[in-house]
């Protein structure tokens, strides 16, 4: 049986209605049990507004609105932080807060003990790597148990995984702040996380925004490219595969997609995926990951000659030196010098930028 991924072209004037149609084309109600709370897992790759990097407010609103119309009234946004991303700033600068307020969506923060407790979890399925990364035990947010989840990624490249989408979006929500331990084995980590999700969530669905996509060394320092596409699927592997193919990559050459396919956790081969809506079989954005200074340093440490020293670099207080260096480079050099001029152009010269201003 083929996996199903829906793909639509959209425009600002109809985007909310298009998200509703998109989700129904992908049969979301078949995969999201009635009466079960739904976790909204948005994607904040960078707390700054940067087109293509983060969940868009219309993506968030379109999904919330359709879920409400479909009878899924208990929706909860769950945010996570990273060593270089501020979720409070992210949800404010990317205009999520007005959407949450409009639809009365509560927000929980998985890094706040008063919101969410982390518990030991013993996976039922065999782990490829997580049990070795965390020999003291795997911990997950207790709140995630027995709740459905909708992932809200964007269509973009990633310096470590080539592309990033639905599968990578679980990385922040299901792993604690020591998730950087897994970077050198990131592909197997994402497969393990998908296996865990299938054990703890009654329903899993993904809705991906490609109205503005990210080409280049993502998930932050990219070139924003308006493409006007949106995607949805209950198969996390399949939606990532279709997005990867649209970007110009062979999905089965991307390890996390290939391994998940081989492990039977989803479909990664395009020939085994039914795409409904738009015909994107010949689409090729011609994206490439590329490099910048920060990504080159990261690859050198995680996958290059210094790989053997990772425990020293990232399992000791030395990690804060790398955190500060990344934070300083991205927030105080790259964004004001290179990023903000691109953002201003997008805000003032694209219809999506104009729509963003209305939130």
Q: pLDDT (tens digit, 9 = 90+) per residue, 77-86?
A: 999 988 778 9
Specify the range with the lowest mean pLDDT, choosing from 66-75, 231-240, 316-325.
Answer: 316-325
Q: What is the pLDDT of residue 301?
A: 58
pLDDT-based confidence at residue 340 (cuts at 50, 70, 90): very high
Q: Is residue 179 part of a domain?
A: yes
pTM of the predicted model as reported, rounded to 2 decimal places: 0.93
For range 317-330, the mean pLDDT: 74
pLDDT surpassing 70 at residue 34 = yes
- Summarize pLDDT for 180-205 with one digit per residue, the tens: 677 778 999 999 999 999 999 999 99
**208-250 tens-digit pLDDT:** 999 999 999 999 999 999 999 999 999 999 999 999 999 999 9
Nearest CA to 246 out of 286, 275, 277 is that of 286
Per the structure, the count of domains in the chain is 1
With 60 as the cut, is the pLDDT of residue 62 above it? yes
Q: Give the pLDDT of residue 36.
A: 98
- Answer whether residue 190 is part of any domain: yes
Rounded CA-CA distance 188/283 in Å is 28
Which residues form the domain of 129? Answer: 3-295
- Give yes or no for residue 314 having a pLDDT over 70: no
Is position 39 within any domain? yes
Q: What are the pLDDT digits (tens) for 109-155?
A: 999 999 999 999 999 999 999 999 999 999 999 999 999 999 999 99
Q: Tell me the pLDDT of the chain averaged across its residues.
A: 92
What is the average per-residue pLDDT within 262-286? 97
Q: Is the pLDDT of residue 359 over 70?
A: yes
Residue 327: pLDDT band with limits 50, 70, 90: confident
Is there a domain that residue 113 lies in? yes
Tens of pLDDT, residues 277-286: 999 999 999 9
Kindly tell me if the per-residue pLDDT of 309 is higher than 60.
Answer: no
161-165, 201-205, 327-331, 345-349: least confidently modelled range: 327-331
pLDDT at 347: 98
The region of weakest confidence among 15-19, 30-34, 124-128, 181-185 is 181-185
CA 302 to CA 298: how far, in whole Å? Answer: 6
Say yes or no to pLDDT of 90 above 90: yes
Which parts of 57-202 are beta strand (E)?
A: 75-79, 107-109, 118-121, 138-141, 148-152, 154-158, 162-164
Query: What contacts 312, CB < 8 A, 6 or more positions away?
Result: 318
Do 311 and 178 touch, CB atoms closer than 8 A?
no
| pLDDT at residue number 298 | 60
Residue 295 in this model has a pLDDT that exceeds 70: no
Q: What is the CATH number of the domain that holds 79?
A: 3.40.50.11440
Q: Is 337 exposed, middle or buried (0-12, 13-18, 19+ CB in 10 A)?
A: exposed
Q: Are 53 and 218 in contact, with CB atoms under 8 Å apart? A: yes
Q: What pLDDT, on the 0 to 100 scale, is given for residue 183?
A: 74
Q: Is the pLDDT of residue 325 over 90?
A: no
Residue 315 is predicted with a pLDDT of 59
Closest CA to 175 of 217, 233, 127, 223: 127
């Amino acid at each position: 049986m083929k996996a199903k991924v829906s793909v639509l072209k959209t425009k600002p004037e109809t985007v909310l209605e298009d998200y509703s149609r998109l989700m129904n084309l992908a049969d979301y109600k078949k995969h999201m049990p009635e009466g079960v709370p739904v976790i909204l897992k948005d994607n904040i790759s960078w707390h700054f507004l940067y087109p293509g990097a983060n969940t868009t407010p219309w993506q968030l609103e379109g999904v919330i609105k359709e879920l409400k119309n479909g009878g899924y009234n208990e929706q909860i946004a769950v945010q996570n932080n990273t060593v270089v991303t501020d979720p409070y700033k992210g949800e404010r600068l990317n205009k999520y807060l007005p959407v949450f307020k409009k639809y009365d969506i509560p927000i929980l923060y998985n890094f706040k003990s008063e919101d969410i407790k982390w518990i030991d979890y013993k996976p039922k399925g065999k782990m490829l790597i997580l049990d070795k990364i965390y020999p003291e035990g795997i911990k997950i947010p207790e709140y995630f148990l027995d709740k459905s989840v909708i992932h809200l990624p964007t269509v973009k490249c990633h310096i470590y995984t080539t592309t990033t989408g639905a599968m990578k979006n679980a990385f922040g929500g299901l792993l604690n702040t020591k998730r950087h331990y897994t970077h050198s084995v990131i592909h197997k980590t994402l497969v393990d996380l998908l296996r865990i999700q299938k054990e703890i969530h009654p329903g899993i669905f993904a809705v991906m925004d490609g109205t503005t996509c990210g080409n280049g060394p993502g998930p932050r320092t990219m070139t924003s490219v308006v493409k006007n596409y949106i995607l949805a699927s209950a198969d996390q592997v399949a939606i990532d595969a279709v997005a990867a193919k649209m970007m110009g990559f062979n999905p089965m050459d991307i390890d996390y997609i290939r391994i998940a396919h081989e492990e039977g956790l989803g479909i990664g081969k395009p020939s085994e995926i039914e795409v409904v809506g738009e015909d994107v079989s010949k689409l090729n954005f011609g994206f490439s990951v590329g490099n910048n200074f920060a990504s080159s340093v990261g690859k050198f440490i995680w996958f290059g000659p210094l790989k053997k020293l990772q425990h020293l670099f990232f399992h000791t207080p030395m990690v804060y030196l790398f955190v500060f260096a990344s934070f300083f480079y991205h927030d105080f050099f790259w964004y004001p010098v290179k990023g903000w001029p691109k953002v201003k152009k997008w805000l003032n010269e694209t219809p999506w930028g104009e729509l963003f201003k209305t939130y």
